[in-house]
Structure 1
Amino acid sequence: MSLRAPTRAGRATAPLGLRPLARLLVDAAAGRPHDAPDELFAEDLGRVLAAGVLHRVTPAMARSLAAADAPDPWLAGLGAARHAQTLRHLRAVEDLKVTGAALDAAGIPWAVAKGPVLASVVWPSPDMREYYDLDLFVDAARFEEAIRVVLSTGGEQLDRNWPELRRSMRAEIAMTARHGTHLDLHWHVAVPERLRRQFPVDMAGMLRRARPVTIAPGVTMPTFDPVDTVHHVAFHAAQDGANRLMWLADVRYAVQDPGFDWDELARRAAAARTTVPVALVLDRAVRTVGLELPHGTSFDRARRGAWGSLARRRDRDHPFPGLPGDDRLGGNVYGAARPGTAASAACLLAYTLRARRVGRQHRARGTDGSPERPLQRDVADVTARAEYFARLAPGPGG
């Protein structure tokens, strides 16, 4: 484990050797006050704010520097980001109330994950975690009906390219809720079809085990149970490269729930074949935000294996957390983690080749600064739409 410098209270702080801005990011994500060194305030404020957005901890940076003698522009810029997140959270809660009530009225089992739940229930304060969307999960067999329900509340469907949806069989459709919050409606936590074949997550069980939580005064919503919450956020982090401090802090805070159990997490991860990717995320959280991982678990063994060693070596060569302008921020080693070194290596090679191909296509096509979003082309193919939903009828478990 990294050498850590003690604070005045004797508790760990950010790992030694980090760049000043990176140390601030880590302390912010871990919910610690930051004794800012003088060299930190030599940083360009624009780069500081960009780093906060990169790791989705800009509001937490404002809290971390609250007791520091920061320059006025810093306090104003970070304070504005914190205020903006508070407003986004309030709007998301209102959209969740409207959408959730409509799903309940239709008798559709559902659960909300990440965003407002992690901000309100898991993190120390709802103005720390920076998020921009809602993630709602429903049973696959009710997915078509759930889309209609969201639309009936004044929402809008963004992904409308039905031939592409049918081809990819993605387990989510992008929408917006009534008040404008981006809403990803899911029927599975593994969005690409290939991931569902590789990682057989018990989606029906996750919805069945959902529990109510209070995300605002008088607002109670269903979300995944404490073990499924940790499993979900760690698996999601791995698939996206585990390259944002927010995701590692999600895990650190979520394991503190009184209902969380390490042995049950190990059982569910083994059943879903997610032990290796989850272990790598846990290991990075241990090394950065102070997660305490018990010894002797399957995760402890997996993170010390060949692929875990490769991830740690990559982190030594390219220090985490990354900052704007750094090379290799993608985290493909984490996203490629599979049950077995050979399978992980093959996946990493495929990711590398795909990234190069996409890069060549991007350079050949040119860009106006707006990424192409094929799923949001309006292609109303009735046959493709019917075939997409027909594939969901048996449920996500197959």
Structure 2
Amino acid sequence: MAHLARPKRAARGLLIESVKAIANQSELPSIPIDLEPYWVDCALFSGLGPLIAHKLLDVGTAVPAELADSIRPAAAMHLLHLAVLRIIRNALDAAGVRWLVFKGPAVAEQFYEAPSARTYSDLDILIHPADFERGLTALLQGPARLIDQNWFLISEREQGEITLAIGATVIDLHWHFFSSALTRSTFQLDICRTFDHACTTTLGGVEMTVLDTADTVIFLATHAVLSGGHRLKWMFDFHCAAASLNVPNDVIRKRIREYNVELLVSVMASRTAAFLGTDAPVEHGHHPWLALSRLASRAAPPESEFLNAYTARALFSATRTSTRNSVVQFVRNAVRLARTGSNRRSHVVDRSILHLPGGTEADRRRWLDMVASHG
């Protein structure tokens, strides 16, 4: 409704300022009483309710009931996922599989002051391509059940992940960061290198293998931009990981170049700097596409979905290895948007289609052989 647009826009701006203050360890902005309900709604909509609530508790400020109530389910979900992660660990370690956990609990435990300050809904597990079939078999013969069952589409699209579940917990089982075969061919990121860099840490009191901080920074940036770059939580994740880097700047810059994701990471670093006022050790360069993304950022601040406004997802998700390639992809995205009305990232399969049984054992075999060929 038109009469709600102004207070919701103001509340969105206050949320950005609030998260910026947390990122810079400065004082939170004062929230006018008439805007507080909209500010709370925007915080919850963005998944940042628990983060804001924790900060208010830390400084001894009264916490709106809805924000305070958001901490408990976030904490409960984290504990549930840690329990499932232990089950996964036992199954995969017993099978002698090389694997690691990323996103979700790894980010919450390593980079947030309290894990319950970060919301997430599923578990992302990366298995070395050479070990993927063995890992998948170990999980399906043990605690997990298969959600994605359309082997014809999985094989035809050369999916970079498959969905399982343990109880009510959804598991995205990856053999690559990029689910789309076209995206993988564009960036040619050697996923096996991430296992060379992997390290161990303690998650919920149990030792787990995770991405090292440099690869975490890179993955958070690539995932955010290819997903549309429209969420403030992604920017805060990126800031937290970048602030925790324990390697020289030239090391992460070299790795970004090796992974062929310079423009992706630069766009994320630029967008994060614009809204959170923090810098990452990334060489932005002088790409015209980067300049265009900065202009788009002004027209499409994060959480524009809260206002049903322009999010620029079609533009940010078009970022590729060069300005030329990005422009070509943006045109494709724009045509797709005009034809279908979908403003999602490019080349995303409707995952619900994969849940329906389809294909044959030959399709399944073809996909698993393709995965193994990358190991």
Task: Provide the C-alpha distance between the structure 2 equivalents of 1:333 and 1:139, rounded to a whole number of angstroms.
Answer: 32
Indicate the residue corresponding to 1:365 in structure 2: none
Per-residue CA distance 1:101-138 (angstroms, 9 max, x = gap): 11011000001001001001112221111111111001
| Counterpart Cα distance in 1 of 2:263 and 2:93 | 36
Long gaps (5+) in structure 2: 1-8, 343-349
Q: Structure 1 residue 169: deviation in Å?
A: 0.7
User: Which of 13, 24, 29 lines up with 2:15 in the alignment?
Assistant: 24
Structure 1 residues 359 and 27: CA distance shift in structure 2, 3 A: same
Look up the match of 2:51.
60
1:226-276 Cα deviation digits (max 9, x unpaired): 111111111111111111111111111112225233212221221222100
The equivalent position to 2:32 in structure 1, one of 38, 62, 66, is 38
Where in structure 2 are the equivalents of 1:144-159 lying within 5 Å?
A: 144-159=133-148
Q: Decide whether aligned partners of structure 1 residues 48 and 326 sit closer, same or farther in structure 2, where only a CA change above 3 A counts.
A: farther
Match of 1:183, SS state, is: strand
Provide the secondary structure at the position in 1 that maps to 2:29. Answer: coil
Which residue, out of 125, 129, 132, partners 2:118? Answer: 129
State whether structure 2 residue 272 is matched by structure 1 residue 285: yes
CA contact (8 A) 1:22 1:321 kept: no
Higher mean C-alpha deviation, range 236-245 or range 23-32: 23-32
> Would you say the 8 A contact 1:138–1:207 is kept in 2?
no
Amino acid at match of 1:386: R
Aligned to 2:64: 75
Equivalent residues of 2:242, 2:280 under 8 A apart: no
**Corresponding residue number in structure 2 for 1:348:** 330
Tell me, what secondary structure is at the counterpart of 1:222? strand
The alpha-carbon distance between structure 1 residues 372 and 193, as it changes in their structure 2 partners (threshold 3 A), is closer
Q: Which segment drifts farther, 19-28 or 126-135? A: 19-28
Alignment of 1:88-237 (within 5 A): 88-177=77-166, 179-217=167-205, 219-237=206-224
Superposition misfits of 4+ residues, deviation over 6 angstroms: none
Q: Secondary structure at the match of 2:173?
A: strand
Contact 2:11 2:35 in 1 (8 A): no
2:360 alignment counterpart: 381
* Shift, 1:68, TM fit: 7.3
In structure 2, the partner of 1:15 is none
Distance between the aligned counterparts of 1:113 and 1:86, measured in 2? 18
Write the distance in 2 (CA, Å) between the matches of 1:142 and 1:320. Answer: 38
Residue 48 (structure 1) aligned to one of 32, 40, 46: 40
Compute the displacement of 1:393 (Å). Answer: 2.3
TM-score by length of 2: 0.88
The Cα offsets for residues 82-102 of structure 1, whole Å up to 9 and x where unpaired, read as: 110000000010000110111
Task: Report the alpha carbon displacement of residue 330 of structure 1 after superposing the two structures with TM.
Answer: 4.8
The residue identity in structure 2 corresponding to 1:138 is I
Partners of 1:117 and 1:223 within 8 A in 2:
yes
Report if the CA contact (8 A) 2:148-2:356 is conserved: yes
Q: 1:245 aligned to 2:232? A: yes
Equivalent position amino acid for 1:65 in 2: L
In structure 2, C-alpha distance between the alignment counterparts of 1:134 and 1:119, rounded to whole Å: 12
Q: Secondary structure of 1:292's partner?
A: coil
- Give the secondary-structure state (helix, strand or coil) at the position aligned to 1:324: helix
RMSD between superposed Cα atoms in Å = 2.3
How far the C-alpha of 1:43 sits from its partner, in A, is 4.8
Contact 1:22 1:322 in 2 (8 A): no
Question: What TM-score results when the alignment is normalised by the length of structure 1?
Answer: 0.83
Bigger drift between 137-146 and 84-93 goes to 137-146
Shift of 1:380: 4.8
Q: In the alignment, which residue of structure 1 is the partner of 2:256? A: 269
How far apart are 1:69 and its partner, in Å? Answer: 6.0
**Deviation at residue 53 of structure 1 after TM alignment:** 4.5
SS of residue paired to 1:65: helix
Deviates more, 1:113-122 or 1:147-156: 147-156
Cα distance in 1 for residues equivalent to 2:114 and 2:243: 15
CA distance in 2, matches of 1:21, 1:352: 26
Note if contact 2:16-2:275 (Cα within 8 Å) is conserved in structure 1. Answer: no
Cα 1:373–1:54, aligned 2, differ >3 Å: closer, same or farther? same
Say if 1:131 and 1:184 are closer, same or farther in 2 by CA, change over 3 A: same
| 2:228–2:314 Cα contact (<8 Å) kept | yes
Identity %: 24
- Cα distance between partner residues in 2 of 1:127 and 1:25: 20
Q: 2: distance between equivalents of 1:48 and 1:186? A: 35
Output the CA distance in 1 between the equivalents of 2:147 and 2:43.
Answer: 28
Classify the secondary structure of the residue corresponding to 1:243: coil
> Could you report, residue by residue, the CA deviation over 1:267-321 in whole angstroms, capped at 9, with x for unpaired residues?
1221222100110001111111232235xx5x221xx431111111112223334
2:307 aligned counterpart, secondary structure: coil
Deviation at 1:36, TM superposition (A): 2.7
Could you tell me which runs of 5 or more consecutive residues in structure 1 were left unpaired when the two chains were aligned.
1-17, 361-370
Supply the AA of the counterpart residue of 2:40.
Answer: V
How far apart are the structure 2 equivalents of 1:258 and 1:293?
9
- Whether contact under 8 Å (1:109, 1:139) holds in the other structure is yes
